[in-house]
Amino acid sequence: MKNFLLNKKFIGAIAVFVYVICASIYFSQIMSDAIVQYSPVVAKEMEAFLPITIANGEIVEPKDTVIKRSYGNATDAFDVVLDTRVDEFDASSLKNQGLYVSRKYIYGVQKLKTEIRSLSELGDGTLDREKLNDFLQFLNANAGRYIFVISCGILLVFSICAILLYTIVMHWLMAMLFKIGFARTLRINSLAYVVISSLTLFTPIRISILLTLVIMIALNIGIDNVLKENQEA
């Protein structure tokens, strides 16, 4: 079993792939459940803003209207504002996180940045309760598979980059102490990364980036010493 784990080609890649699939299923299930749970809340809250009609890049209905809603607590509030009295807002005056809609623009305000989009990008049309309910039903039925695919892509790229970075940094740190094959180190680090990431994701255990690197170095040194002792015996 030991020789299989250390020498079998692609065992690290297989382990990472299985982890990505399992983690993506986990994320998609959590997100799907949250969407199903909060869809009725979203529909109810949106009723105050609907219907909204856009024509020629601006809101024509409702006219000269201000509707405000605030969610969360005072320290982490999220505001939703529709103000069709003005063409645009002064972005610097939008302090709270939230979604702000003027007659011609949408402002997405986060803690570190503000994104502005023209309503002309959305095209002409009317968003009413029926269309909103149709969209939410579609989301409830299909969000899981989309989240799964997106999670797979993000986790796979992130995991590969993280493992390669850990391995390169480890080789650079340990270059003066001992020489070991990059392929075997990559395999050991892949298996260690999968175990550590699984513990972090599926249990309350939290392992920092630095501790992960230390564990990988210790594993490689320990396995290298064991193999040398077996060869000398």
Sorting pLDDT into bands at 50, 70 and 90, what band is 179? low
Contact predicate 163/209, CB 8 Å: no
Mean pLDDT of 71-82: 80
Res 209: pLDDT: 86
Q: What is the DSSP letter of 203?
A: S
Phi/psi for 36 (5° steps) reads: -65, -40
End-to-end CA, the chain: 20
Same domain for 158 and 213, yes or no, is yes
Looking at the chain, the whole-number percentage of residues with pLDDT higher than 90 is 21
Same domain for 155 and 176, yes or no, is yes
Q: Which domain holds residue 122?
A: 51-126
Please give the C-alpha separations between residue 223 and each of 55, 167, 229, 230, in angstroms, as whole numbers: 68, 15, 10, 11
pLDDT tens readout for residues 8-61? 667 888 889 999 999 999 999 999 998 888 888 888 888 888 888 998 888 988
Q: Scan for tokens 């940094």, then name that residue.
A: 169
For every residue of 133-149, DSSP letters joined together read HHHHHHHHHHHHHHHHH
Mean pLDDT of 165-171: 85
Question: How many domains does the structure of the chain reveal?
Answer: 2
Res 178: pLDDT: 57
Res 74: pLDDT: 66
Res 1: pLDDT: 45
Same domain for 59 and 7, yes or no, is no
Q: How high is the mean pLDDT of the chain?
A: 84
Q: What is the DSSP letter of 64?
A: S
Same domain for 119 and 197, yes or no, is no
Same domain for 224 and 143, yes or no, is yes
pLDDT tens readout for residues 96-124? 888 999 999 999 888 778 888 888 888 88
Contact predicate 68/86, CB 8 Å: no
| SS3 assignment, position 216 | helix
Spacing of C-alpha 187 from chain mean position: 26
Q: What is the DSSP letter of 49?
A: T
Domain for residue 212, yes or no? yes
How far is the C-alpha of 192 from the C-alpha of 198, rounded, in Å? 10
Please give the C-alpha separations between residue 47 and each of 151, 156, 221, in angstroms, as whole numbers: 32, 39, 62
72, 104, 126: which is the final residue of a domain? 126
Domain for residue 134, yes or no? no
Dihedral angle sign, alpha carbons of residues 186, 187, 188, 192? positive
pLDDT tens readout for residues 123-150? 888 888 888 888 888 888 888 899 999 9
Sorting pLDDT into bands at 50, 70 and 90, what band is 185? confident
For every residue of 73-136, DSSP letters joined together read -GGG-EEEEEETTSS---GGG--SEEEEE-SSEEEEE-SS-EEEEEGGGG-SEEE-HHHHHHHH
Domain for residue 44, yes or no? no
